[in-house]
Amino acid sequence: MEKHTDIERSIIKKFRKNIWRGFIKGVQKYELIKENDKIAVCISGGKDSMLLAKLMQELQKHGKFHFGLEFIVMNPGYNQKNYELILENAKKLNIPITVFETEIFNIVFDIEQNPCYLCARMRRGHLYSKAKELGCNKIALGHHFDDVIETILMGMLYGGQVQTMMPKLHSKNFEGMELIRPMYMVREEDIIAFARYHNLEFLRCGCRFTENIDYENKYESGSTRQNVKALIRSLRENNPNIEKNIFNSVENINLSTVIGYHKNGDKYNFLDDYDR
């Protein structure tokens, strides 16, 4: 049996409960895919985006309606080893990728303030442009459930705001384009289990700022996000429902018990109508 056939079978059978059902739940709950969509699946080479590509392939094969897929890989300036790893994994997983080149790493390498923010903005823009060039109306990213709850806590603890990573967004700069996150309900621990089960090694981080750092865990990198991961793990020891509760907190906001909020540039403070 070819490697990709074994992988596809495991998604539907062995990982049906922990990965496939979560994937389908997110797609259906947030209405991420519609008939005749053409979706660019954006592959960075990491475990999340590579699994997303296989999940989207399987949904296209077994789903109830037609939609198109393009699998795009942007090379922002990976070193040769990382670039070859992406190509090798795409071949193993039978993902027909379209690769395009950019100079993003060269551009941001000497930037001292917020290089990661600039890099992310530039990467997103290039992905939208390539997707639109290929006739797509959506781009799909590999963010998962843990990314969502970590973003909630990071916003509160480090940004002083309550916000989340949305399951889908209309692009402000590319008319008619939309961003979707189909793995919104898939847990990271299950993605890691999938990779280990198939003995697959994916790109952990291709960034020039971090590629020479020796991390103990090849699936993680040292960052503020890792501090939040550690905090969630410690909280889970006393409350096994902690992740679910964090996630549900942004679906159950009681606006009559918040001091203020803002939407589309308009700000509200509870004092505005307190005495009415």
Domain annotation covers residue 258: no
- Burial (Cβ within 10 Å: 0-12, 13-18, ≥19) of residue 23: buried
At residue 206's C-alpha, the angle toward residues 123 and 219, to 5°, is 115
Domain annotation covers residue 49: yes
Which pLDDT value is given to residue 77?
85
Mean of the per-residue pLDDT values of the chain: 90
Domain annotation covers residue 104: yes
Domain annotation covers residue 272: no
Helix (H) or strand (E) holding 5: helix 3-12
Is the pLDDT at 28 greater than 60, yes or no? yes
Q: Which residue has the tokens 């922002």?
A: 76
What integer is the mean pLDDT of 140-151? 97
Domain annotation covers residue 273: no
Number of structural domains (the chain) is 1
When pLDDT is cut at 50, 70 and 90, the band that residue 210 belongs to is: low
When pLDDT is cut at 50, 70 and 90, the band that residue 215 belongs to is: very low
Which pLDDT value is given to residue 164?
95
What integer is the mean pLDDT of 138-142? 98
Q: What is the DSSP letter of 215?
A: -
Task: Enter the pTM of the model.
Answer: 0.90
Q: Which of 77, 78, 174, 67 has its CA nearest to residue 131?
A: 174
With a pLDDT cut of 70, the percent of the chain lying above it is: 91
CATH number, residue 119 = 3.40.50.620
Q: Which domain holds residue 193?
A: 3-252
What distance in Å separates the CA atoms of residue 131 and residue 55, rounded to the nearest whole number? Answer: 19
Q: Which of 85, 75, 72, 198 has its CA nearest to residue 136?
A: 72
Domain annotation covers residue 210: yes
Domain annotation covers residue 260: no
Which pLDDT value is given to residue 165?
96
Domain annotation covers residue 276: no
What distance in Å separates the CA atoms of residue 71 and residue 50, rounded to the nearest whole number? Answer: 10
